[in-house]
Structure formats: C-alpha cells, structure tokens
C-alpha cells in the first residue's frame, strides 16, 4: 500500500489493521459514493479505539481515487509553514 509518496504524506503505520474490514468498506463507500469523492472526513470515538490507524489505512486504500493524492493534514500544514514561515504570525492558535 502506498503510504509515503510525493502526493501522499501519510505516516507509515506501526501495526497492521486487524478486524476493521467492515469499517473500511463503509467509509470507502461513504467517501467515493456517486463518483464525487469527499475531500475531508472526521472520525470520532474514544481514545485508543483505532481512529488514527483506520484513517491511515483508509487514506492508503483510497490514494488513487484523489488526483492530487491524499495527505495527513498535520504534515501538509508543517510543509506549508516551512515554505511560508511569515504565515505563522497570523495563526490564531499561537496568539
């Protein structure tokens, strides 16, 4: 599965995904229904329930569906701020 590539900033998983086939199938259907891919999906749940691992796996599975690739939002923000550090001064979290 393509975890890291120029168009894909997903972190490499440390573990395999076990027993989540139904979740992956349901979320895949939700994301690519009607040939109109969703651009952002939020997973919620209790701490330690596997949200991050599921998101990484789902991103890798769907990498080819999105022409611009898939990305880990944190990685893209960091990459953007490295090339545009002046934008940090406008970040409301850092005020």
- Residue with more model confidence, 41 or 53: 53
Which residues 6+ apart lie within 8 Å of 40 measured at CB?
A: none
- State how far the Cα of 77 lies from the Cα of 59, in Å rounded to an integer: 17
Per-residue pLDDT tens digits for 60-88: 888 888 777 777 776 666 777 778 777 66
User: Cα 95 to the chain's mean position, in Å?
Assistant: 27
- State how far the Cα of 82 lies from the Cα of 12, in Å rounded to an integer: 22
Is the pTM for the entire model greater than 0.75? no
């Amino acid at each position: 599965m393509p975890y890291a590539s120029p168009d894909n900033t997903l972190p490499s998983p440390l573990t395999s995904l076990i027993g989540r086939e139904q979740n992956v199938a349901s979320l895949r259907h939700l994301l690519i229904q009607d040939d109109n891919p969703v651009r952002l999906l939020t997973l919620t749940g209790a701490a330690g329930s596997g949200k991050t691992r599921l998101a990484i796996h789902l991103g890798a599975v769907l990498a080819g569906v999105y022409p611009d690739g898939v990305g880990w939002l944190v990685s893209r923000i960091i990459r953007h701020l490295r090339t545009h550090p002046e934008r940090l001064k406008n970040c409301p979290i850092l005020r």
